[in-house]
Each structure stands twice: as C-alpha cells, then as structure tokens.
Amino acid sequence: MEMGFDAFAAACFAIPVLVSVLAVRVAYVICRSGLPPSKSPASGLRCLIVLGSGGHTAEMMNIVTELQKDRFTPRYYVAALTDNMSLPKAQVYEKSLIQGDGETIIENAQFMQIYRSREVGQSYITSIATTLCAILHAMWLIIRIRPQVIFCNGPGTCIPLCASAFLLKVLGLGWSSIFYIESIARVKKLSLSGLLLYKLRMADQFFVQWPQLQQKCPRAQYAGRLM
C-alpha cells in the first residue's frame, strides 16, 4: 500500500515537471522560428517539397523553378497517394535540369507519396483511422528524410508533415524551417491549412500573395504575385 502511494506521489510530481519542460521547449521553438541558422551548412539543404493537386502543384512548381538548385539539394517531392498527376510534373521538371556535360541531375531529387488524412466525401468517422495512418506515415517520412527546409502552399497533406517536423523540433531531435506560401486563390481569408499553421505558429515563414490578406494576418509577409 505504501509503495503504491509512493508511486502515485512520484507521478504527481513528475507529470507537472514534464508538462513544464514541454511548455518551455514549445515556447523556445516558437521564439526561435524564423531566425537564421547559427551557422551555414557546408553542403546543400535537404528540402521537402509538398505538392497538392491541380493549382497547388502549379504554384509550387513555379516556386521551385526559382530556387537555387545547388543550395536546396537533395529535393524530396511528396504528394498524396491518390494524386497521380503532381509527381510526374516534378519528375519532368527534374529531368529538364541538364548539366553542361549532358548528365541529368535527377539523382538530387526523390519522389514519394503519403496517405491523405481525409478524401473528398469521406465520412468523418472513417477519417479518424485514415488521419492516424497519415500522421504515422508523415512522422516516418520526416524521421527518414530529416528535412532542413519544408516548402508547402496549402494542400491538406502538408499538415501531418509540418506537425511532425514541429514535434521533432520540440523534442530536440531535428530542426526543419517551414516555409508556407498561401495560394494565390486566397484573397481575403486563409485556407484551413494556412489557418492552422498560422494560429499554431508552426511555420517559420508565412507568405501571402494579396496585401489585404496580409493586413488581416500581420505576422504574414506579403510576397506579391508568385504566378
């Protein structure tokens, strides 16, 4: 009986301590987000690029074309498992990057898919299981890739990936700078993905493409039209 009481007392002491430490780590990560790294990496930055379907992919590929390829390498493209169009577009782009000696540099890019949290029209009850599956898959991908930079622009598939990357930062197991670019279609209000990343302060840099939207979201940066 006494041992049980001692274990209960120890748990009552340990839980508040763990919660306090976690709160301090979350506050530190939020304060540290957006600041430049303490030292520049000698090699390229492992870059995770989240592709949506349709317009999201077109916008993201337009952003990718402006990246310094020697700095953001290797590049990991991720799209939803049911999206059959986004990754082929990224593959075509990477194949177009030809070096002067005629050899492709596609080995600097990898392409992978991730489970969706919820399909269009899927019931909310069945989406619980698929959401858990998507979160576990996203965590596995983040741990495997350990991206130093994440680019995303609104597809729902970015939420589990960004949340997993943020969790690793809180736990001190890695640091990923998350760059979120809100879709140009969002003129007056944020998308659900953008709203979550903005309110929860998971994004290191948050960009919008309309000045009136930036006025509503003062922590966002106005990037102008990217399309």
Domain boundaries, the chain: 1-32, 42-222
Distance of alpha carbon 126 from alpha carbon 141, whole angstroms: 23
Buried b (16+ CB within 10 A) or exposed e, 178-190: bbbbbbbebeeeb
**pLDDT value at residue 101:** 43
Sign of CA dihedral 125, 127, 131, 134: positive
Q: Which of 112-121, 145-154, 195-204, 211-220 has the lowest mean pLDDT?
A: 112-121
Q: What is the pTM of this model?
A: 0.85
Q: Which of 9-18, 57-66, 166-175 has the lowest mean pLDDT?
A: 9-18
Number of H helices, E strands in the chain: 7, 7
pLDDT digits (tens, 9 = 90+) for 176-219: 999 999 999 899 999 988 999 999 999 999 999 999 999 999 99
Question: In terms of CATH architecture, what is 42-222?
Answer: 3-Layer(aba) Sandwich (3.40)
**pLDDT value at residue 39:** 59
Question: For residue 38, what is the DSSP state?
Answer: S
